[in-house]
Amino acid sequence: MTNEHNEPDIIFILGIMPRSGTHFLWHLLGLHPDCDKSAIPEDGLVSKSDFIARYVNLNYHVWQSEGDLPAIPARELLMESLGEGLKIFLQRARIAADQLTADQAPKQASYLVTKFPQVTNIDKFFRLFPREKLLILVRDGRDLVESINVSFRYGREEAIRDWARAARRIVAFEKKWAEAKDRYCIVKYEQLHTNTEQEMRKILHFLELDPGSYDFKEAINLPVVGSSVFKRGEGDVHWTPVSKTHDFNPLSRTAAWTRRRHERFNWLAKEELLLFGYEPKGFTGNRFAWSLWNRLQDTRYGIRVWWRRLKNLCWLVGRRARNYFKRKGS
């Protein structure tokens, strides 16, 4: 399906967090002849949309205060119109990128696939893009936490809390936009990895794309890109495609987790884990002792947060004081 100007419509992919598999799904959809991948690898348009919403609200309040507002849904129209501008940006960015590689004929696609591995401001998605399709990619929080820790040396405590927060955002989005079920689809990374053909058929059906034009064999054998399994030692994650081996299993990241790590995850994110149908690892034993240990960990975390805030405040005050005395001395 294309719009009246024969420009591709946009398929948005939002991941619950980095390491949720957005790159994988992006490449899988790019195999379809009716899909082209965005020239912007990670656009961040939805996650930064609070600035757009603030702009819309400021203008709307001005119109209201002046008493000149006609009986139209001006706030909604302005938000949607700005969303159209974002779509035009993505479309033109793809054209500009194609012009840079003039040796290759541009792909004549009906859809342009774009992605971002965060669900911040997902509640504003359909206000900006009321007619676009959205794929929301989720992943077991335990595997994601371990992957992001190995990939980017991101602390597990912070990652667990971030995952739980993001999960709650998705659940709130589902409740708010229950009537838009035909425009968004939640995809589990685990299903995408283990049952690639079955899951891609479901996704293609949702997007109204012909599965007969899709190469499922190529999808199943798609090279691995950006996996923490293929890191260069202690270096950063690289994005060079690597052939998938038989022992490649991104679903066993937490095989070496101790009870302590599982207990901490359950304490912080067990409810969110259950909301997405993942099974927490249960343990027997003295629950009171583990509850007390977790409360002590909460206290430690709270102290670290406030200490960081205090250091940042001292740095900010010090910088402003230096600038003040520097100006006064000159």
pLDDT in tens, 227-278: 555 454 555 555 566 666 666 778 888 989 999 999 999 999 999 999 999 9
pLDDT in tens, 167-224: 999 999 999 999 999 999 999 999 999 999 999 999 999 999 999 999 999 999 888 7
Q: Evaluate whether residue 293 is within a structural domain.
A: no
Looking at residue 105, its pLDDT comes to 62
Q: Which residue has the higher pLDDT, 107 or 226?
A: 107
Q: Evaluate whether residue 151 is within a structural domain.
A: yes
Residue 15 C-beta-side C-alpha neighbours within 13 Å: 22
Name the band, by pLDDT with cuts 50, 70 and 90, for residue 1: very low
Query: Which of 16-20, 308-312, 319-323 comes out lowest in average pLDDT?
Result: 319-323
Burial class from Cβ neighbours inside 10 Å (0-12, 13-18, 19+) for residue 82 reads: middle
DSSP, collapsed to helix, strand or coil, labels residue 311 as helix
Angle at 164 between CA 144 and CA 239, to 5 degrees: 30
pLDDT in tens, 30-46: 999 999 999 999 999 99
Residue range(s) defining the domain that contains residue 170: 9-249
SS percent in the chain: helix, strand, coil, step 5: 55, 10, 35
pLDDT in tens, 43-77: 999 999 999 999 999 999 888 888 777 778 899 99
Q: Evaluate whether residue 255 is within a structural domain.
A: no
Backbone angles phi, psi at 114, to 5 degrees: -125, 160
CATH number, domain containing residue 245: 3.40.50
Q: Evaluate whether residue 321 is within a structural domain.
A: no
Q: Evaluate whether residue 269 is within a structural domain.
A: no
Q: What is the DSSP letter of 224?
A: B
Q: How many domains does the chain have?
A: 1
- Average pLDDT of the residues in 283-305: 92
Q: Evaluate whether residue 278 is within a structural domain.
A: no
In percent, how much of the chain has pLDDT > 90? 71
CA distance 261 to 147: 14
Q: What is the DSSP letter of 244?
A: P
CA distance 234 to 22: 23
Q: Which residue has the higher pLDDT, 270 or 99?
A: 270
Q: Evaluate whether residue 127 is within a structural domain.
A: yes
CA distance 190 to 201: 15
Written as six digits, the tokens of 108 are: 């004549």
Q: Evaluate whether residue 185 is within a structural domain.
A: yes
Burial class from Cβ neighbours inside 10 Å (0-12, 13-18, 19+) for residue 20 reads: buried
